[in-house]
Amino acid sequence: MIQTASVSYKVDATSSYDPDGTIASTVINWGDGSTTTAASASHTYNKAGTYTVTVKVTDNSGATASTSRTATASWGIFITSPSSGISVSSPVHFIAQAAAQRGLRSTAILVDGQAVYTGTSWMIDTNVTMTTGTHQIVIQAVSKRGVLYNVPLTLTVV
Protein backbone atom coordinates (compact mmCIF):
# COMPACT_ATOMS: atom_id res chain seq x y z
CA MET A 1 0.00 0.00 0.00
CA ILE A 2 1.39 3.43 -0.98
CA GLN A 3 0.24 6.54 0.84
CA THR A 4 1.25 10.08 0.10
CA ALA A 5 1.85 12.38 3.01
CA SER A 6 -0.34 15.31 2.12
CA VAL A 7 -2.31 16.10 5.25
CA SER A 8 -4.89 18.67 4.23
CA TYR A 9 -7.77 20.16 6.13
CA LYS A 10 -10.67 22.17 4.78
CA VAL A 11 -12.55 24.89 6.64
CA ASP A 12 -15.89 26.19 5.39
CA ALA A 13 -17.31 29.20 7.23
CA THR A 14 -19.59 30.31 4.39
CA SER A 15 -22.67 29.62 6.53
CA SER A 16 -21.60 32.30 9.06
CA TYR A 17 -24.17 35.05 9.31
CA ASP A 18 -24.90 38.30 11.12
CA PRO A 19 -28.56 38.74 12.18
CA ASP A 20 -28.35 42.56 12.11
CA GLY A 21 -25.90 43.14 9.27
CA THR A 22 -23.34 41.34 7.11
CA ILE A 23 -20.09 39.43 7.56
CA ALA A 24 -17.35 41.82 6.48
CA SER A 25 -14.33 39.51 6.79
CA THR A 26 -13.24 36.00 7.71
CA VAL A 27 -9.77 34.96 8.86
CA ILE A 28 -8.70 31.32 9.25
CA ASN A 29 -5.65 30.84 11.48
CA TRP A 30 -4.27 27.37 10.73
CA GLY A 31 -2.24 27.16 13.95
CA ASP A 32 1.13 26.79 12.21
CA GLY A 33 1.82 30.48 11.59
CA SER A 34 -0.20 30.78 8.39
CA THR A 35 -3.57 32.42 7.86
CA THR A 36 -6.14 32.63 5.09
CA THR A 37 -8.57 35.51 4.51
CA ALA A 38 -11.37 33.53 2.89
CA ALA A 39 -14.62 32.02 4.14
CA SER A 40 -13.68 28.60 2.71
CA ALA A 41 -10.16 27.25 2.24
CA SER A 42 -7.92 24.18 2.43
CA HIS A 43 -4.50 23.97 4.07
CA THR A 44 -1.72 21.37 3.95
CA TYR A 45 0.56 20.89 6.95
CA ASN A 46 4.24 20.17 6.33
CA LYS A 47 5.05 18.85 9.81
CA ALA A 48 3.39 16.26 11.99
CA GLY A 49 1.68 17.76 14.99
CA THR A 50 -1.53 18.94 16.57
CA TYR A 51 -2.75 22.36 15.49
CA THR A 52 -5.49 24.64 16.77
CA VAL A 53 -7.43 26.00 13.78
CA THR A 54 -9.37 29.19 14.57
CA VAL A 55 -11.96 30.88 12.39
CA LYS A 56 -12.71 34.52 13.21
CA VAL A 57 -15.49 36.47 11.52
CA THR A 58 -16.00 40.22 11.74
CA ASP A 59 -19.27 41.91 10.88
CA ASN A 60 -19.90 45.27 9.25
CA SER A 61 -20.07 46.94 12.71
CA GLY A 62 -16.71 45.54 13.85
CA ALA A 63 -18.12 42.86 16.18
CA THR A 64 -16.24 39.55 16.11
CA ALA A 65 -16.93 35.90 16.82
CA SER A 66 -14.58 32.94 16.65
CA THR A 67 -14.48 29.19 17.03
CA SER A 68 -11.59 26.73 17.21
CA ARG A 69 -11.05 23.07 16.39
CA THR A 70 -8.06 20.74 16.59
CA ALA A 71 -6.39 19.41 13.43
CA THR A 72 -3.95 16.52 13.73
CA ALA A 73 -1.35 15.77 11.09
CA SER A 74 0.06 12.48 12.27
CA TRP A 75 1.19 9.88 9.71
CA GLY A 76 3.22 10.35 6.60
CA ILE A 77 6.13 12.44 5.41
CA PHE A 78 6.24 16.16 6.09
CA ILE A 79 8.83 18.06 4.05
CA THR A 80 10.29 21.32 5.34
CA SER A 81 12.86 21.78 2.57
CA PRO A 82 13.10 21.91 -0.40
CA SER A 83 9.75 22.73 -2.01
CA SER A 84 8.77 21.01 -5.24
CA GLY A 85 9.20 22.95 -8.46
CA ILE A 86 12.01 25.24 -7.36
CA SER A 87 15.54 25.79 -8.62
CA VAL A 88 18.33 24.94 -6.17
CA SER A 89 22.08 24.65 -6.10
CA SER A 90 24.02 21.53 -5.20
CA PRO A 91 24.34 20.14 -2.61
CA VAL A 92 20.59 20.15 -1.93
CA HIS A 93 19.61 20.33 1.73
CA PHE A 94 16.71 17.98 2.50
CA ILE A 95 14.76 18.35 5.75
CA ALA A 96 11.78 16.04 6.31
CA GLN A 97 9.99 14.35 9.15
CA ALA A 98 8.26 10.96 8.88
CA ALA A 99 5.71 9.51 11.25
CA ALA A 100 3.82 6.20 11.27
CA GLN A 101 1.33 4.68 13.68
CA ARG A 102 3.58 1.84 14.86
CA GLY A 103 6.97 3.40 14.10
CA LEU A 104 9.29 3.48 11.12
CA ARG A 105 11.50 0.85 9.57
CA SER A 106 13.38 3.11 7.16
CA THR A 107 13.53 6.41 5.28
CA ALA A 108 15.08 7.19 1.91
CA ILE A 109 15.65 9.84 -0.73
CA LEU A 110 15.52 8.70 -4.34
CA VAL A 111 16.84 10.88 -7.17
CA ASP A 112 15.69 9.81 -10.64
CA GLY A 113 14.83 6.37 -9.23
CA GLN A 114 18.19 5.81 -7.48
CA ALA A 115 18.51 5.75 -3.68
CA VAL A 116 20.98 8.45 -2.65
CA TYR A 117 20.14 8.41 1.08
CA THR A 118 18.82 5.74 3.42
CA GLY A 119 18.29 5.88 7.14
CA THR A 120 16.32 4.54 10.07
CA SER A 121 15.56 7.82 11.84
CA TRP A 122 12.20 9.60 11.64
CA MET A 123 14.08 12.81 10.82
CA ILE A 124 15.87 13.43 7.52
CA ASP A 125 18.36 16.32 7.62
CA THR A 126 21.01 15.76 4.98
CA ASN A 127 22.75 17.29 1.99
CA VAL A 128 22.66 15.47 -1.35
CA THR A 129 25.06 16.34 -4.16
CA MET A 130 23.20 16.44 -7.47
CA THR A 131 24.13 17.18 -11.08
CA THR A 132 22.78 20.16 -13.00
CA GLY A 133 19.35 19.58 -14.55
CA THR A 134 15.79 18.70 -13.61
CA HIS A 135 15.37 15.72 -11.30
CA GLN A 136 12.47 13.63 -10.04
CA ILE A 137 12.83 13.15 -6.29
CA VAL A 138 10.92 10.79 -4.01
CA ILE A 139 11.11 11.13 -0.24
CA GLN A 140 10.16 7.75 1.13
CA ALA A 141 9.39 6.14 4.47
CA VAL A 142 8.42 2.56 5.33
CA SER A 143 6.51 1.84 8.52
CA LYS A 144 7.18 -1.19 10.71
CA ARG A 145 3.87 -2.55 9.37
CA GLY A 146 5.15 -2.29 5.79
CA VAL A 147 3.14 0.77 4.74
CA LEU A 148 5.07 2.74 2.11
CA TYR A 149 4.80 6.54 2.19
CA ASN A 150 6.05 8.44 -0.88
CA VAL A 151 6.18 12.16 -1.56
CA PRO A 152 7.33 13.14 -5.07
CA LEU A 153 9.17 16.39 -5.82
CA THR A 154 10.60 17.94 -8.95
CA LEU A 155 13.77 20.02 -8.52
CA THR A 156 15.96 21.85 -10.99
CA VAL A 157 19.61 22.03 -9.98
CA VAL A 158 21.39 25.07 -11.43
CATH assignment of the domain containing 62 = 2.60.40.10
Residue where one domain finishes, among candidates 38, 73, 108 = 73
- Pairwise CA distance, residues 107 & 120, whole Å: 6
For residues 144-152, average pLDDT? 85
52-105 tens-digit pLDDT: 999 999 999 999 999 999 887 767 788 888 988 999 999 999 999 887 767 788
Kindly indicate the confidence band of residue 8, based on its pLDDT and cuts at 50, 70 and 90: low
Residue where one domain finishes, among candidates 73, 105, 131 = 73
User: Which is higher by pLDDT, 150 or 60?
Assistant: 60
**Is the predicted pLDDT of residue 7 greater than 70, yes or no?**
no
- Domain count across the chain: 2
Residue 88 sits in the same domain as residue 137: yes
102-136 tens-digit pLDDT: 778 899 999 999 999 999 988 899 999 999 999 99
